[in-house]
Amino acid sequence: MKGRKVLDAEAIDIICLRMSYQAEEQFSGHSKLAVIGVEGEGTHLAKKLADLLSARKAFDVQLHTISLPKHKTIRPEVKLSPGPEGLKGVPVLLVDDVLNSGRTLTYCLSPLLEFEIPSLKIAVLVERTYRKFPVSSSITGLALSTTIEQNVEARLSGSASETGVFLN
């Protein structure tokens, strides 16, 4: 991986544990939770959080993936898998690796609002401050100040030595 490693696998595990406790607090009073990861590294983070929540028996957790062409700028088609069956009445935790401009998460929110969900929160591993869209996270692993030219890349799949958050 190019760039400076900001978080290693161990730090990410610690942050994920803290994020799972925050999710448990924010969704207290619910017995079910739909954890929806944005395709790519967001799905790996969502699985980590879902596994932690399931292991503590905090919720009956449903794991979903939401996908969209991230580089299409006009109304990208957003797909949820498995489908929306079972989302009615279930709170949603939308998960992505890095919140940068907010565009991806804005497009992901739109189809989720078509379902009768009691609550929707956003969790991200790394949050940057260069928003072009009015989206913020409810659960943030790390807020990172960078220059606009710098790029933040999360790598959550692969071996422990390859896992990390990198600043380019």
CATH number where 24 lies: 3.40.50.2020
Angstrom distance (rounded) from CA 125 to CA 10: 14
Q: pLDDT tens digits for 109-138? A: 888 888 889 999 999 999 987 778 889 999
Which percentage of the chain shows pLDDT scores above 90?
60
pLDDT at position 20: 97
Whether residue 36 lies inside any domain: the answer is yes
Whether residue 41 lies inside any domain: the answer is yes
Which residue range is the domain that position 64 belongs to?
A: 10-145
Please say if the pLDDT value at position 100 is more than 90.
no
pLDDT at position 111: 84
Domain count along the chain: 1
Q: What is the CA radius of gyration of the chain?
A: 15
pLDDT at position 69: 83
Whether residue 84 lies inside any domain: the answer is yes
Q: What DSSP element (H or E) covers 25?
A: helix 9-26
Alpha carbon of 95 to those of 2, 46, 48, 136, 161: distances in Å?
A: 24, 6, 11, 12, 23
Please say if the pLDDT value at position 82 is more than 90.
no
Mean pLDDT score across all residues of the chain: 90
DSSP 8-class letter at 58? -
Whether residue 157 lies inside any domain: the answer is no
pLDDT at position 1: 53
Q: 155 - beta bridge partners?
A: 164
pLDDT at position 148: 82
Whether residue 164 lies inside any domain: the answer is no
Please say if the pLDDT value at position 64 is more than 90.
yes
> Using CB atoms within 10 A of its CB, is residue 3 exposed (0-12), middle (13-18) or buried (19+)?
middle
Whether residue 16 lies inside any domain: the answer is yes
Residue 105 near residue 122, CB atoms below 8 Å:
yes
Mean pLDDT calculated for residue range 87-101? 93
Single-letter residue type at 126: V
Two structure tokens written together for 11 = 């730090």
Mean pLDDT calculated for residue range 152-156? 92
Helix (H, G, I), strand (E, B) or coil at 71: coil
Whether residue 113 lies inside any domain: the answer is yes
Residue 11: CB atoms within 10 A of its CB come to 16
Whether residue 27 lies inside any domain: the answer is yes
Mean pLDDT calculated for residue range 133-147? 91
- Which residue did the predictor score with more confidence, 45 or 78? 45
